[in-house]
Amino acid sequence: MLRRKPGINLMPIYRLLQNMPMGPEEITRLTTAYEQALRTIGIVDRGDPLAELLAKKIVQVAQTGVREPADISAQTIKEIGIAT
């Protein structure tokens, strides 16, 4: 389970992963993919609606069996249709 400091807002990916039955390795893999996707498309503001969309799609792509963070990130960006 993810813990946070009081008063700190969680990034969209952490909010999604909070109640999912995942181990630390899987959480690390998804958060790494998420951060990589954000950097690739240039999102800095984690409150951006696109950051939320990316987080949801990262989880969906990972559920298809894609394991490597770079592959999850690339597939997510491709499926959303963002040109890089």
Q: What is the mean pLDDT of the chain?
A: 86
Residues with Cβ < 8 Å from 10, sequence gap 6 or more? Answer: 2, 4, 18
Q: What confidence tens digit (pLDDT) does each residue in 16-69 have? A: 888 888 899 999 999 999 999 999 999 988 888 999 999 999 999 999 999 999
Q: Where are the alpha helices (DSSP H) in 1-84?
A: 12-17, 24-41, 49-62, 69-80
* pLDDT (0 to 100) of residue 2: 42
Q: Mention every residue, 6+ apart, whose C-beta is less than 8 A from residue 72.
A: 29, 30, 33, 58, 61, 62, 66
Fill in the amino acid letter for 6: P
Give the span between the Cα atoms of 44 and 34, in whole angstroms: 12
